[in-house]
Structure 1
Amino acid sequence: MATAGKSLTGLVAATFTPLTPQGEINLSEIEPYIDYLVEKQGVKSIFVNGTTGEGMSLSVEERKTLAEEWCQKAKGKMDQVVVHVGCLSLKESQELARHAVEVGADGIAVIAPSFFKPSTADALRRFLQEVASSAPSLPFYYYHIPAVTGVTLQAKDVLAGIEKLIPSFMGVKFSSTDLVDFGLCVSSSQPHWSLLYGVDEQLLGALPMGANGAVGSTYNYIGGPVNQLISAFEKGDLSQARAIQFKVQELITYAKDQGFDVGVNKQLMSEVSGLCLGPPRLPLLPRPHSHALAIAQKYHSLFTEKH
């Protein structure tokens, strides 16, 4: 894997956590999962134990076991493995951060606590600082996802002066549709930061704003087309970039009409990839297989069938 400090750019797949039918973590699927991302999707960086990975529904020990397995199996195959270590408990976040160093992660990310919520940007920065200080050698990313955490602080306010508190700070995973806030983060960023956009259906809107990477769940199975989108944008071929983005939007809109959540998304990935990723963990419930099958058919009509 990459040496610490290397910029995280391009597509990053937010990985699902493989579970057995009984709901236990299934490590045997991780190596073929990595091979699928690299060989079939052209995706060589991953973000593990995050929202898509149901990280907040896993125990600390499960998260450690998964982080170690992802890092070990990715060696020599992937560029970067970023481990999400955010928890409601500061002590548990610090424990996971220290563990990420031990297992050879390339970076760590932290979500805002969502039960006792930070009321100010300063409070959140201090929480992030305490976690980062437990792994000062690893690049640190703030994971901004207000629709899930309920923490509505502007990311630009959280990032203000953050390098003074966190010397290892390397960027933000920005999972919000607020492109004004994102633009203000970019305009005040340092040259070595990674500005990673996390709303897959409007990535093309974030690229000219300054996004230099993207983290998302759909890149598990449409990484190839979205790599083409980024390439087209970089070449100035906006017509081609838009055509691909419109297909992504059509797929995600259709999926949402089918009751798209992490569980259905996980079923869809299993259907498309042939991997056995298992059910979601409670309180998420499995949906009828027909939902994932319908989305998979839409996926194939948009991205694999020749027109």
Structure 2
Amino acid sequence: MDPAVDRKVSGIVAATFTPFNPDGHINPAVIGPYVDYLTKKQGVTNVFVNGTTGESVSLSMEERKVLAEVWCREGKGKLDQLIVHVGCMSLKDTQELARHAEEIGADGIAVISPSFFKPSTADALREYLKQVAKVAPTLPFYYYHIPAMTGINVNARDVVEGIEQLIPSFRGLKFSGTDLMDFGQCVRLSQPNWSLLYGVDEQLLAGLAMGAEGAVGSTFNYMGCHTKQLITAFKAGDLSQARAIEFKVQELLCFAIKKGFNLGVNKQLMIEVSGLSLGPPRLPLLQCPADNSQAIAKKYHSLFPDP
């Protein structure tokens, strides 16, 4: 069967948070309202599920399957593209999640490199990705490059060069790194049916200038509508307006970093802005102190006042 890879991903893709109950169990009941918030309040119709923002490596296999299933069910008819991240430390677990994503009707899968036993070369990583892609051949396949988290010292450029010969379903890259030369070379090597998605929210404008066709990010959960305005301004050639929005994003994140910005803080900010009951992060991540999250939310509203 030919892979269903005709629809390119572009624009804003929200890297979703995983909702937990206060007792630490996943809370899939929130996903329906979450979909409605993204689509109706933020104008975001693409999601990246069970990634870094979703605390995937802290979830069990069964939890990841349940979350992917509920996102697919609740997003049907509302979301344009739903990419499920299936990367694990184990090749067999990654393959199992890839098969599952294909079975439940996901629109694509993404895979991060293992980061305990690390691939030492691009060829080793490419072979790993090939072994995952081949078990779900009908799904568009994306490599998720995030060296700050994986510690993988392999340029994405070396991974993607000629990869379509190894992985016919390969359709792009989530580049969550700050090396714009490496990203630029990925753009240079890109095929017409690939989607090059930038993943460092506070540098999105630079990524767009290098040729990104869209972006995957955690802040798009609560700043998606503003980021869409940034992209619109960039495409219209209004760099002054695009910079003005980007500088606001950077000002917010600079303020948040001083408050100890991490995934727990980011999640709490989403709760403050959206009103969704997403719960705490899972240990070893700690919940954000209330005074910090409220201060960051106040800063957010001062920079992005409600219309």
The aligned counterpart of 1:82 is 83
Distance in 1, matches of 2:46 and 2:27, equals 21
Matches within 5 A, 1:196-215: 196-215=197-216
Q: CA deviation at 1:5?
A: 3.1
Distance in 2, matches of 1:223 and 1:41, equals 5
Q: CA deviation at 1:4?
A: 4.4
Task: Provide the secondary structure at the position in 2 that maps to 1:46.
Answer: strand
The aligned counterpart of 2:239 is 238
Provide Cα deviations, 1:262-298, integer angstroms capped at 9, x if missing partner.
1111111011100000010111111211111111111
Structure 1 residue 282 corresponds to structure 2 residue 266: no
What amino acid sits opposite 1:119 in the alignment?
Answer: S
The aligned counterpart of 2:265 is 264
What amino acid sits opposite 2:222 in the alignment?
Answer: Y
Indicate the RMSD between aligned Cα atoms, in angstroms: 0.9
TM-score (norm: length of structure 2): 0.98
The aligned counterpart of 1:185 is 186
- Give aligned-pair identity as a percent: 68
Q: CA deviation at 1:305?
A: 5.5
Matches within 5 A, 1:82-231: 82-231=83-232
Aligned length in residues: 304
Distance in 2, matches of 1:83 and 1:56, equals 13
Provide Cα deviations, 1:236-259, integer angstroms capped at 9, x if missing partner.
111110100000010111111111
What amino acid sits opposite 1:243 in the alignment?
Answer: A
Distance in 2, matches of 1:154 and 1:258, equals 32
Distance in 2, matches of 1:103 and 1:253, equals 39
Q: Report if the CA contact (8 A) 1:132-1:140 is conserved.
A: yes
What amino acid sits opposite 1:157 in the alignment?
Answer: D
Q: Report if the CA contact (8 A) 2:6-2:193 is conserved.
A: no
What amino acid sits opposite 1:266 in the alignment?
Answer: K
Task: Provide the secondary structure at the position in 2 that maps to 1:207.
Answer: helix
* Structure 1: gaps (5+ residues): none
Distance in 2, matches of 1:253 and 1:87, equals 31
Q: Report if the CA contact (8 A) 1:5-1:138 is conserved.
A: no
Distance in 2, matches of 1:146 and 1:275, equals 31
Distance in 2, matches of 1:122 and 1:252, equals 36
The aligned counterpart of 2:62 is 61
Q: Report if the CA contact (8 A) 2:5-2:171 is conserved.
A: no
Q: Report if the CA contact (8 A) 2:5-2:169 is conserved.
A: no
Provide Cα deviations, 1:104-147, integer angstroms capped at 9, x if missing partner.
10000000100000000000000000011110000000000000
* Structure 2: gaps (5+ residues): none
Distance in 1, matches of 2:306 and 2:280, equals 28
Q: CA deviation at 1:226?
A: 0.6
What amino acid sits opposite 1:88 in the alignment?
Answer: M
TM-score (norm: length of structure 1): 0.98
Question: Which stretches of structure 1, 4 residues or more, deviate above 3 A after TM superposition?
Answer: none
What amino acid sits opposite 2:47 in the alignment?
Answer: I
